[in-house]
Structure 1
Amino acid sequence: MRFMIEKSQAGAWLFLCRLLLVVCIAACNWGCTKPKVEVQAIPAGVTVLVLGDSISYGAGAEHGTQDYPTLLASKTGWAVVNAGISGDVSSGGLSRLPSLLAQHRPRLVIIELGGNDFLRQMATARIEDNLRSMVHLVQQADAVAILIAMPEVSLAGRLHDHPLYARVAEESGALLVSSAVSGVLSDDRLRADQVHPNAEGYRQLTDALVTQLRGLGVLR
């Protein structure tokens, strides 16, 4: 009888130990889902790649002088490579990225894509997969990935970031610049047309980027 009681107690302790192990593993997984991002300030002279569409190219203003990558280079001293192509979508950026990483070996990659995907009503899951894959490629190249959130399509009223950017940033460990493009395109005075800033819009977009990059620790 005593043997049976001791055996029962041992079984209970074994069950309790297993339960605690499962809880600990679950807690660790919950706390480790977001990769740690070690951010260091990017000094002047370092190569920074901007992968984007017409907004990075500078449509609506003068390319090469008034686009935000050029203005960002002026404000930071970074050697900014503007790889913005008008009309590009997230799948196009993903296909271009490997060769750009190999060619320029950037320390920081700013990804501004997805707006044309929304306009073409592409599947949200596909856009997320493309952005996540781009972030992964950047991280494999030992560079920091920054996503610029793009607004959801809206016919009227103030624009808001599409929530997929926050999801991708949270899951992948990318840094996120939020509300910068949405804020500029919500103001008629800062737009050249419905989807592109004008020269003043790009200037304010650059100021918003610089402010957030400082807050993220990428820029002193």
Structure 2
Amino acid sequence: MSIALVLSVTNCNSTSKRDYFDSNFKCFAEPGWRDDANFKKYIEKAWLPTRLLYAKDNSKIKRSDIVFTGDSLVHLFLPNLMAKEFPGKSVTNRGIGGDMSETLLSRIDDDVLRLEPKTVVIEIGGNDFIQGKCLSLVQNNLLSIIKKIHSRNHQIRIFLIAVPPTRVKELNQIVPVYNLFLNQVARTTQNVEYIEVWDIMRKPDAPTLSEEFIRPNGDSLHFNEKGYEIWGKKLRPYLQK
């Protein structure tokens, strides 16, 4: 399953359905996407095939000290980039393009915890907000993910990467609110750390992705290799402990 195919069915919906500051906005509290037909297509064509690949790989490698998981921003942290940023580390990528907090929660046992990691790095939430999911729902899903990980082993270290800025105005409005929540969770939960990247990846004077991180294909949601260098720089001091 190519990452291109995974991403091809995860485009932004119309503005009116994800603008949390619109007076007519109503958040979405149902499973899946507002467009159920496309969500089913995504699950069938992208999410499930990727999970099958992960299951096959998990049975082969058995264990991994560090597992990254989350949405397309994790999925695009390709093996060569991970090897560059974390040399000598046992690091496995279990991101899936289009993943939301609810779908990550449903797969965390099989895709991530089966590898008995000592550290789990999570970046999740952007796709929830693309769908206009209720903020409280996303927050509760994140808390459930943490609870499920620590119910397996409370000594597992969890690193919550801030959802970074994009070039989508509606996401840049709501994501900082969610990141504040992630920071607070880390402050009040044992073995959970918050990794701030929003501040360094945005324009100095505007809440949008800095030009130096923009991908050359006009992609408004994802960032280039320089962004992953930021992730590596931020995470290395923690992963070396």
TM-score normalised to structure 1 length: 0.64
Which position in structure 1 is the counterpart of 2:17? none
SS in 1 for 2:92: strand
How many Å apart are 1:128 and its aligned residue?
Answer: 0.9
Which position in structure 2 is the counterpart of 1:145? 158
| Conservation of the 8 A alpha-carbon contact between 1:138 and 1:144 | no
| TM-aligned CA distance change 1:167 to 1:152, over 3 Å | farther
2:80 to 65, 69, 74: 65
Distance 2:152 2:98 in 1: 26
Distance 1:204 1:168 in 2: 22
How many Å apart are 1:73 and its aligned residue?
Answer: 3.1
| Conservation of the 8 A alpha-carbon contact between 2:164 and 2:201 | no
1:164 to 156, 174, 181: 181
1:78 is the counterpart of 2:100: no
Which position in structure 2 is the counterpart of 1:203? 229
| TM-aligned CA distance change 1:55 to 1:70, over 3 Å | farther
| Conservation of the 8 A alpha-carbon contact between 2:86 and 2:232 | no
How many Å apart are 1:50 and its aligned residue?
Answer: 0.7
How many Å apart are 1:93 and its aligned residue?
Answer: 0.8
| Conservation of the 8 A alpha-carbon contact between 2:113 and 2:149 | no
Which position in structure 2 is the counterpart of 1:120? 131
Where does the alignment leave 5 or more consecutive residues of structure 2 unmatched? 1-62, 203-208
Aligned residues: CA RMSD: 2.8
Distance 1:70 1:84 in 2: 16
Residue deviations 1:20-61, cap 9 Å, x none?
xxxxxxxxxxxxxxxxxxxxxxxxx961111111111117xx
How many Å apart are 1:101 and its aligned residue?
Answer: 4.1
Which position in structure 2 is the counterpart of 1:47? 65
Residue deviations 1:153-198, cap 9 Å, x none?
76298984632212332343321111x1553253111121322111
Residue deviations 1:121-144, cap 9 Å, x none?
111111111111111122122211
Distance 2:143 2:103 in 1: 14
Where does the alignment leave 5 or more consecutive residues of structure 1 unmatched? 1-44
Distance 2:163 2:68 in 1: 15
Residue deviations 1:40-95, cap 9 Å, x none?
xxxxx961111111111117xxx3323xx444432xx2211100111111111111
- Name the larger-Rg structure: 1
Which position in structure 2 is the counterpart of 1:155? 169
| TM-aligned CA distance change 1:54 to 1:46, over 3 Å | closer
Distance 2:97 2:112 in 1: 20
Distance 1:136 1:71 in 2: 31
How many Å apart are 1:204 and its aligned residue?
Answer: 2.5
Q: Which amino acid aligns with 2:194?
A: L
Distance 2:98 2:129 in 1: 12
